[in-house]
Chain A
């Protein structure tokens, strides 16, 4: 049973436009959420996170939104750049310091 799901395996966006990556979860105990970015032949790198006490966290071009009632989070990238082309994973944990559960990833392609 997948507790964290990324239903879109891929997304293609024009440079300069907004990219929106979505993630759904089923475990109501999850209270901390992270997004990782992965380039080919590299390990995932941490991008941005959000605690369940917030509904939005922003870091430069990246913003994560959390809708606890819908058990849904999204990552917005604006404006999108070709260097953002990568696989994006969302992850969740049930309490601080616990293990992470990852989604299956979404491949983002930003076209020049």
Chain B
């Protein structure tokens, strides 16, 4: 299996621009998670989906962040407009229903100038 795939691996953009991060979960996994890792806050959960439906988005920082999962094999995390404080590594993870082990992608390092 290819594992969780994320793209791009690195993104550098200017403040105010729209950023879209992409994730392809492991085939057959029913749950998908978006995390953000920063030095200050560590690894924090932004949102997660079960069977393509958002279950908990309480970790989404503000309205500038949005996430979608149009089908079982694809999800996006969008930031519009982006700000320098959004600079972080964003991870996507997936999991089979009823299990606890999440499998992480390699992450997207976002830099907002």
Which residues of A line the B interface, CB within 8 A? 32, 34, 36, 41-46, 49, 89, 93, 96-105
Interface presence of B20 (CB below 8 A): no
B27-51, CB under 8 A of A: which get 1 and which 0?
0000101000000001111001000
Docked CA distance A100–B93 (Å): 11
Number of interface residues of B (CB under 8 A): 23
| Chain B residues with CB under 8 A of A105 | 42-43
When A97-B97, A99-B33, A99-B56 are in contact, do A46 and B42 touch as well, CB less than 8 Å? no
When A43-B4, A44-B43, A103-B42 are in contact, do A49 and B105 touch as well, CB less than 8 Å? no
When A43-B105, A44-B91, A99-B56 are in contact, do A89 and B100 touch as well, CB less than 8 Å? no
Distance of A49 from chain B, by nearest CB (Å): 7
Q: Is the CB of A42 within 8 A of B100?
A: no
Q: 9 closest A-B pairs (Cβ-Cβ)? A: A43-B104, A104-B42, A102-B43, A97-B98, A44-B104, A32-B100, A43-B106, A46-B101, A43-B105
Q: Which of B45, B91, B101, B104 is in CB contact (< 8 Å) with A49?
A: B101
Q: Is the CB of B106 within 8 A of A34?
A: no
Main SS class of interface, B: strand
When A43-B4, A43-B91, A43-B107 are in contact, do A96 and B43 touch as well, CB less than 8 Å? no
Docked CA distance A32–B100 (Å): 8
Distance of A28 from chain B, by nearest CB (Å): 17
| Chain A residues with CB under 8 A of B93 | 43
